[in-house]
Structure 1
Amino acid sequence: MTKLLKWTTPEIALTFVLDEGPVRVTAVRDASRLGGAEPDSSRPLVEVTAVGHGHSSNRHIGSVLGGRLRYADHEETETTLRIVQEEPTTGLRVTSVLEARAGVRAWTEASITGAGSLELTSLTSLVVGLPSVDADLYSAANSWMAENRWSKRALRDVLADIVHDPHHPVPNSRYAVTSTNSWSTGEVLPVGVLVDGPHALGWQIEHNGPWHFEIGETAQGGYLLLSGPTDLDHHWSVELTAGKPFTTVPVSLVAGTDVDSVFAALTRQRRAIRARRPIDDRLPVVFNDYMNTLIGDPTTEKLLPLIDAAADVGADYFCIDAGWYAEGDWWNTVGAWQPSTTRFPDGLAEVINRIRRRRMVPGLWLEPEVIGARSPIAAELPDDAFLTRHGRRIAEKGRYLLDLRNATARQHLDTTVDRLVDEFGIGFFKFDNNTMTGPGTDKFGTSLGQGLLEHNRALLDWLDGIHARHPDLLIENCASGAMRMDYAMLSRLHLQSTSDQEHPLLYATIAAAAPGAVLPEQAGNWAYPITGTTREEFTLALVNGILGRLYLSGHLNRMTPAELDVVRSAVAAHRAVLAELPTLVPSWPLGLPQWTDEWVALALNGPDVSYLAVWHRVPGPSTITLPIARTAIAPHFPTELGDWTCAWDDDGLVVTTTTDEPSARVLRLE
């Protein structure tokens, strides 16, 4: 007998099929479509493989154990649904946990009933059925200095259309996206959107390490599978016993009618899962001395005039970036985190005190997870404090990597953070991570992937401990720019560095596309105007930061009074956006930005006001029409349009620039 279990969140509904087979699920777009959910397009909610219970396919769908799971029970509260399934021959019990946020947040808990054990080699966080794969997929490549490169492709370009009656065999092909290593976004983003006519699904995998998603087709229809590490992709397995359960990484699922509505839903979901503290409401303007400025070479002589200039243009926090601890080469000597005596002859306190006297909060760059091979700390800490393989420390480019499961490693980092906060009154840390771990560690006899997963989770626990001890501390998430831009980290941390890109014109597409992956109020977009450049170049560099978190840099102390006035105007314009930012959702009137687009546009929309940033990225006059509804419009930054004009026609907003160089503007729409 078939029973349908229907469960809704404020923005998405799921229909579960409960019968003599495994529990199956179909994603439904809205409550009005609940009655239209069709069991024949559903897919098993959980797929699982284990040693001795695998299957001959690169796909993670159609697993033997997953097919033998049977519904046992479910429990429903106002915000949570728990569905229990059991596999009788192995004693495997899996519980699918779904939380109602803006969308759905889901994960899987696995355990063994009775004696025995089971070595899992894959376990999904969520699988949902798709009526078809005749859809377009939006996903993003991500790399150092070239983040957030979104693209659109038809799934039929990779999934052959051979599923036709009476020809039942289907291809084993799939569209798979996999991230390996400890940089969760080192090559691709853990975010995707599927658009099939008027229906769209979006998802994100919330893990600070390896992950996998795949889309494919069976005789029953399409499927979307979301997962953390697996044996096939990440050298991962884990032993289950009665006393050793396992929980997968969480994922989120949202629904909409098109690309923009899905990203709006993802924005609401990210806000719903974020652990927001009172200090996070501050949304300060941060000046950082690195980008196109000191580039890792801070000294007292260089910093003091920068501090004064940053205060004069309205910065709230001042962060001293890499190099403050280094007597020479800073790369392979990191780890002690003591101020350099040659860079600061009268002590770092002199610089910190100047920051405070100028009514700013001091910040420091820190790369906590590594110890340089030439650092004295490398010899002082035992091997157990580091990630190892076959008993030897993992060494990557002159650095060792701390194992945050280890109490000695944690104590070293806790002591470091607490000392810097207590001694210098640090209120902001830029936590960087420039070294990857490889596939993981086999310490304690685990698989490499499980060792890395445990370390990843220990890192999150360490961050939670910092916040508990220092509730007024803000922390920026950075990993060679945005190589770890995931919502395991960002559910905890205040700010995300969106890139290390040093060219303002290239940064424009990164900043414009960033809200696809990160909340606007967490998107730390560098604004580093360069003194001596033209007015349009100077302005464009500042526009990059205004619709997000303006992360200010540049040699402010060398600028002319006219240039400083432009910076002050940009900071004021940004503060006006900050007042609305935590409620705004993104859209892209010209589509998601492409790396070489001539015109790029990002809108942040609220119920009463919207802000629109428009970039023209090639030299010469040009005109573009943005398909947006007619409304009151005014220049926001700069406060005069200059060589730009805006006018309405039947197709939308017509924007024209007559300048001979690339340029950008921010408009306010009411």
Structure 2
Amino acid sequence: MGEWQPSSERFPNGIEEVIDYIRSKGMVPGLWLEIEVMGIKCPLASQLPDDWFFTRHGKRVINSDRYHLDFTNPAVRKYADSVVDRLVKQYGVGYIKMDYNITTGIGTDHAADSYGDGLLNHNRAYLKWLDAVFQRYPELVIENCGSGGMRHDYAMLQRHSIQSMTDQTDYVRNGNIAAVGASVVTPEQCAIWSYPLKDGDDEEVIFNMVNAMLVRIHQSGLLNEVTGHRLDLVKEGIATYKHYRDQIPSLLPVWPTGLGQIDDSWFSYGLHGHGEMYLAVWRGVGGVATQSIDLTAYGKVATIKQVYPTNDELISYAVVGNKLAVNFPRERVARLYKVEFK
């Protein structure tokens, strides 16, 4: 961690073999980085002067077995440039998942009036470095993962097109988070994991897919071990998403049943605009089997159609006046609807 060279043990034929295979499938290969950190066991760390790193009282700041690089140092920025250049030019990477799994505390006192001054100077230098990267590679996508969403703000998101919202591993709670994510991050930037489980059922796959289908899909999970109809549901979800994803930046996030809490039994979230709405409805854990969602605030309902999944033998729904009435007879169920207004 810090040298960012491929492991010969993990990639005995070179990392290019994997990257070329991804590209051969018509996809854009990506790699994961923590460009602001260097592992304390990284051989390079012992060769570098202290002014490369955050320091306090003359000692390097250590957190999670990592040092924090100080981007006010031109040599640090030059080194970071060399890493990105190698990934893009040598490996042909078009996507970088930029992580940040460190908590440095109050900052650095190197060449600064205070710890906070040192931290602010680093932040500003890092943003300028990002600007320069995007000037060199305007087509490069850099996701602001930021410790699974713990470090994100709109100074970062002025640059990054995608923000990892959370590393939540409970897919039901991930739905609770997804349903309110657009209240703090624009839907087209808000990336939510969809990770069908190896040994789950159809409803678990559907729930996972709906979690991400009104924001930015982060498709994950052991898809090579998801088979049969469950894999078909993943494909269907992505195919459905492609029909409207280009509209997401122009649609307005709405919450017909209000902003939910982390363990609410029912929750909903929609994207509204131009006489239509895409509406996700979830039943998590607990609660009754029926729910009525009033859509009067958005117009007069003409039709409501379930768009994912298209084949459904479990749930029922109906239009009752200006309300969507749903019956989800079991827990951990989610559906996606398209509402058209008169």
The TM-score, its normalising length taken from structure 2, stands at 0.95
Is the 2:265–2:287 contact (alpha carbons within 8 Å) kept by the matching residues of 1? no
1:455 counterpart (115, 122, 134): 122
SS at match of 1:475: strand
C-alpha deviation, 1:529, in angstroms: 0.8
C-alpha deviation, 1:577, in angstroms: 2.6
Distance in 2 (alpha carbons) for counterparts of 1:663 and 1:502: 17
C-alpha deviation, 1:389, in angstroms: 1.3
1:656 counterpart (316, 327, 337): 327
- 2:175 paired with 1:508: yes
- List per-residue Cα deviations over 1:219-251 (Å, max 9, x = no partner): xxxxxxxxxxxxxxxxxxxxxxxxxxxxxxxxx
SS at match of 1:633: strand
Letter in 2 for 1:541: N
- Moved segments of 4+, more than 6 Å: none
Alignment of 1:206-605 (within 5 A): 334-605=1-272
Distance in 1 (alpha carbons) for counterparts of 2:73 and 2:179: 40
Specify whether residues 538 and 619 from structure 1 end up closer, same or farther in structure 2 by C-alpha distance, changes over 3 A only: farther
Structure 2: gaps of 5 or more residues: none
Letter in 1 for 2:165: T
Letter in 2 for 1:644: I
Letter in 1 for 2:143: E
Is the 2:56–2:109 contact (alpha carbons within 8 Å) kept by the matching residues of 1? yes
Distance in 1 (alpha carbons) for counterparts of 2:170 and 2:47: 41
- List per-residue Cα deviations over 1:141-185 (Å, max 9, x = no partner): xxxxxxxxxxxxxxxxxxxxxxxxxxxxxxxxxxxxxxxxxxxxx
Distance in 2 (alpha carbons) for counterparts of 1:620 and 1:449: 47
Distance in 2 (alpha carbons) for counterparts of 1:445 and 1:417: 28
Specify whether residues 654 and 446 from structure 1 end up closer, same or farther in structure 2 by C-alpha distance, changes over 3 A only: same
C-alpha deviation, 1:574, in angstroms: 1.1
Name the structure 2 match of 1:256. Answer: none
Is the 1:633–1:668 contact (alpha carbons within 8 Å) kept by the matching residues of 2? yes
Name the structure 2 match of 1:633. Answer: 304
Name the structure 1 match of 2:336. Answer: 666
Letter in 2 for 1:667: Y
Is the 2:304–2:319 contact (alpha carbons within 8 Å) kept by the matching residues of 1? no
Distance in 1 (alpha carbons) for counterparts of 2:294 and 2:314: 22
Is the 1:644–1:655 contact (alpha carbons within 8 Å) kept by the matching residues of 2? yes
Letter in 2 for 1:383: D
- List per-residue Cα deviations over 1:12-33 (Å, max 9, x = no partner): xxxxxxxxxxxxxxxxxxxxxx
SS at match of 2:155: coil
Letter in 1 for 2:133: I
- List per-residue Cα deviations over 1:593-640 (Å, max 9, x = no partner): 111211010011111321000000025861111121323110111113
Letter in 1 for 2:339: L
- List per-residue Cα deviations over 1:375-431 (Å, max 9, x = no partner): 012122211111111222111132110000001111111101101111110000000
* Alignment: residue pair count: 336
- List per-residue Cα deviations over 1:251-307 (Å, max 9, x = no partner): xxxxxxxxxxxxxxxxxxxxxxxxxxxxxxxxxxxxxxxxxxxxxxxxxxxxxxxxx
Structure 1: gaps of 5 or more residues: 1-333
Distance in 2 (alpha carbons) for counterparts of 1:527 and 1:549: 10
- List per-residue Cα deviations over 1:75-115 (Å, max 9, x = no partner): xxxxxxxxxxxxxxxxxxxxxxxxxxxxxxxxxxxxxxxxx
SS at match of 2:153: coil
SS at match of 1:570: helix
Distance in 2 (alpha carbons) for counterparts of 1:619 and 1:437: 40
SS at match of 1:632: strand
591-600 vs 386-395, greater mean Cα deviation:
386-395
Distance in 1 (alpha carbons) for counterparts of 2:251 and 2:238: 19
Is the 1:385–1:402 contact (alpha carbons within 8 Å) kept by the matching residues of 2? yes
Distance in 2 (alpha carbons) for counterparts of 1:409 and 1:606: 46
SS at match of 1:480: helix
Distance in 2 (alpha carbons) for counterparts of 1:564 and 1:546: 16
Letter in 1 for 2:336: V
Letter in 1 for 2:267: V
Determine which structure has the larger helix proportion and give its number. 2
C-alpha deviation, 1:650, in angstroms: 4.7
Is the 2:265–2:286 contact (alpha carbons within 8 Å) kept by the matching residues of 1? no
- 2:279 paired with 1:609: no
Distance in 2 (alpha carbons) for counterparts of 1:651 and 1:572: 29
C-alpha deviation, 1:539, in angstroms: 1.0
Distance in 2 (alpha carbons) for counterparts of 1:537 and 1:403: 44
Name the structure 2 match of 1:280. Answer: none
Letter in 2 for 1:645: S
How well do the aligned residues superpose, as a CA RMSD in angstroms?
A: 1.4
Is the 2:19–2:91 contact (alpha carbons within 8 Å) kept by the matching residues of 1? yes
Determine which structure has the larger strand proportion and give its number. 1
Letter in 2 for 1:607: H
SS at match of 1:563: helix
Is the 1:381–1:408 contact (alpha carbons within 8 Å) kept by the matching residues of 2? no
Distance in 1 (alpha carbons) for counterparts of 2:288 and 2:84: 52
2:318 counterpart (647, 654, 661): 647
SS at match of 1:443: coil
Distance in 2 (alpha carbons) for counterparts of 1:669 and 1:596: 26
Distance in 1 (alpha carbons) for counterparts of 2:309 and 2:76: 49
Distance in 2 (alpha carbons) for counterparts of 1:651 and 1:521: 28
